[in-house]
Amino acid sequence: MSELNPFKIAQAQFDEAAEILGLEPAMREILRWPRREYKFTIPVKMDDGTTKVFHGYRVQYNDARGPTKGGLRWHPDETIDTVRALAAWMTWKTSVVDIPLGGGKGGVTCNPKELSDGEKQRLARGWMRVIASELGEHRDSPAPDVYTTPQIMAWMMDEFEVIAGRNHPAVITGKPIPLGGSQGRGDATARGGIYTVREACKILDIDPKGTYAVQGFGNAGQFAALLHQEILGGGKLIAVSDSRGGIYVEGGMDPEAIVKHKLDTGKVGDFPGSKPITNEELLELDVDILYPAALENVITEKNAANIKCKISCEMANGPTTPEADVILHEKGIHVIPDFLANAGGVTVSYFEQVQGTYNYYWTLADVHKQLDAKITKAYHDVYEMHKEKNVHMRTAAYLVAVARVAEAVKLRGWV
């Protein structure tokens, strides 16, 4: 099987929306490609005295609606096409939740697990030294992503401020709280997803206190397990899984107990009173709400006919293939697409940018209230488009997002 190019997939998804919206050729061309992209080398002095050269990237996909925003990934398989695709998806994500930002993404091809803290700091500062002139709260604001942390963001912010010669806390988001990070950032991705499930349950007349399962028990999956009960007022968690397998408890399990077990042992397996279950079996359980929160392409045309949940809330990026989307839609399964379901993270990153810009910081209650308002409106905007155009929810989300960016491009006179 040939390797799927993520940017080709992103362009194909855009093309479908552009066709339905009837966008003119010039508009399609400008929205199919990044406005600006940077590829550069970063020499880093290693602990053993040698110098290693790393490859870095930053893509500013589209800034018609505002400064670009997006995470910075450190991964051995990072490529310019990965970064392009993620920058495109971030453009649609910021648009669908209607925050005044565009989409960007950055990366470094490296294996951070092989780097010491000193080497990580020198790499972080080296990346910033190369690209600082193209960044800023009114131009492009990075954030943490795969294998980058609040500490790495702190080093980058500090390097930017050294170069600029003044304080600029809003240039980077996802920072530690003492350096201007926002309250509520840690669980924001999952919290936003739970808000969309709450709204879907109201519209579809589904009891949110029914059964649910979480596939993928990292940060987002763990918070989804906990917040489902906290925000929706109950619910029975009957299965969770991670990369090493899953567990099933017919009578339901305590989310706090399974999260503690995972943090203590590094896996969900061997949880007291549970039966083992595979990731594949978990996806096909007869539950009210399923949270795919692990990898991409886990629901495909091969297993989509066996999916039995009423709502699938995509906490992961790209867990459902285009072929599976069609099958789930025909089965009447309500899919809350990834770039709506997991948009809570970038929304609170935007709040952090706002707080840093005017040097006033919100309470946790303020963050939750504003996040709820943004995500709730976004869900209803997408649902109305879904009903109006009679398309599945992912296409509806694209239609909402792409139409807004296209309108901004047209108003600016670019096309």
Domains 36-179 and 188-341 share a fold: yes
105 is catalytic: yes
- Going across the sheet that includes 311-313, the strands are 275-277, 245-253, 236-242, 211-215, 289-292, 311-313, 334-336
The fourth-level CATH superfamily of domain 36-179 is Leucine Dehydrogenase, chain A, domain 1 (3.40.50.10860)
Cα gap 250→211, rounded to integer Å: 10
Residues shown for the chain? 415
Q: pLDDT tens track of the chain, all 415 residues?
A: 345 678 888 898 899 999 999 999 999 999 999 999 999 999 999 999 999 999 999 999 999 999 999 999 999 989 999 899 999 999 999 999 999 999 999 999 999 999 999 999 999 999 999 999 999 999 999 999 888 999 999 999 999 999 999 999 999 999 999 999 999 998 999 999 999 999 999 999 999 899 999 999 988 899 999 999 999 999 999 999 988 889 999 999 999 999 999 999 989 988 988 899 998 899 999 999 999 998 777 888 888 899 999 999 999 887 888 888 889 999 999 999 998 999 999 999 999 999 999 999 999 999 999 999 999 999 999 999 999 998 989 999 999 999 999 999 999 999 9
Cα gap 212→10, rounded to integer Å: 30
Whole-model pTM?
Answer: 0.92
The correct answer on CATH 3.40.50.720 for the domain covering 188-341 is: yes
Domain boundaries, the chain: 36-179, 188-341
Catalytic residue among 105, 236, 310, 374: 105
Cα gap 50→43, rounded to integer Å: 10
